[in-house]
Amino acid sequence: EAGVAQSPRYKIIEKRQSVAFWCNPISGHATLYWYQQILGQGPKLLIQFQNNGVVDDSQLPKDRFSAERLKGVDSTLKIQPAKLEDSAVYLCASKAGSYNEQFFGPGTRLTVL
Amino acid sequence: AQSVAQPEDQVNVAEGNPLTVKCTYSVSGNPYLFWYVQYPNRGLQFLLKYITGDNLVKGSYGFEAEFNKSQTSFHLKKPSALVSDSALYFCAVLVGSNYQLIWGAGTKLIIKP
């Protein structure tokens, strides 16, 4: 079974630039999450999708962050414009059912200069 | 408020010795508990979970965890530590109608040869 795929693995941008991250979840997983992880800390949930609908985006900074999952499979997370404090690892995860474990991708390490 | 606590920022163990990484939780209702491990520059990997049933749960890489309802704990254990077990370990609890994870702050496990 293929795991959760993410790209790019690393990205370096200047502040005020835009950036996009892509995630392909495990086939058949209806629930998809985007997390932000600051070095050495636990993941912070940004947004949760169920199929192509948003379940929870209460912690997504909507003035600069956006995310979509148009066909209920792949998802993209965008930051525009980026700030220095957005430097973090962005993790995508998916799961099959309510009580199932989440499977994580390798993450995208973003550095904002 | 629902929460997860990992009281130790770092745990140091000699190779071959038993290890314990502590986790306590505070939730309303039945707890659904998870342990994940994160190796450097990698995404989070699922180790084990407690949903219901036996209080001793066995997981990947020889790890196990003991659910203790009276002490509201879910400590991660391994009988004999390996240097390769050195990583960051996260405890998490499933909450809410959206079945989201609340994460602990993480515990860095260092196994010395």
User: pLDDT band at A72, cuts 50/70/90?
Assistant: confident
Can you tell me the mean pLDDT for A53-78? Answer: 94
Best residue in B9, B101, B102, B107 for a mutation probing chain A (most A CBs within 10 Å) = B101
Query: What residues have CB less than 8 Å from B76, skipping those under 6 apart?
Result: B20, B21, B22, B23, B35, B47, B63, B64, B65, B89, B91
Are A92 and A33 spatial neighbours (Cβ–Cβ below 8 Å)?
A: yes
Are B91 and B108 spatial neighbours (Cβ–Cβ below 8 Å)?
A: no
Residue of B nearest to A34 (CA): B100
Say what the pLDDT of residue A52 is: 86
Say what the pLDDT of residue A1 is: 64
pLDDT at B43 over 90: no
For B50-88, b where at least 16 C-beta lie within 10 A, e where not — what string?
Answer: beeeeeebebeeebbbbbeeeeebbbbebeebeeebbbb
Radius of gyration of chain B (CA): 13
The C-alpha atoms of residue A31 and residue B77 are separated, in whole angstroms, by 30
The C-alpha atoms of residue B9 and residue A113 are separated, in whole angstroms, by 29
CB contact under 8 A, B105 and A42: yes
Q: Is B84 helix (H, G, I), strand (E, B) or coil?
A: helix
CB proximity A48 to B under 8 Å:
yes
Say what the pLDDT of residue A69 is: 95
**Average pLDDT score, chain B:** 94
Say what the pLDDT of residue A97 is: 85
CB proximity B104 to A under 8 Å:
yes
Quick one: what percent of chain A has pLDDT higher than 90?
Answer: 88
- B92: tokens are 């998490």
CA nearest neighbour of A95 among A6, A30, A12:
A30
The C-alpha atoms of residue B57 and residue B49 are separated, in whole angstroms, by 7
Say what the pLDDT of residue A40 is: 82
How would you class B30 by CB atoms within 10 Å of its CB: exposed for 0-12, middle for 13-18, buried for 19 or more?
exposed
CB proximity B49 to A under 8 Å:
yes
pLDDT at A71 over 90: no
Radius of gyration of chain A (CA): 13
Are A57 and A67 spatial neighbours (Cβ–Cβ below 8 Å)?
A: yes
pLDDT in tens, B51-99: 988 999 999 999 999 999 999 999 999 999 999 999 999 999 998 888 8
CB contact under 8 A, A91 and B45: no
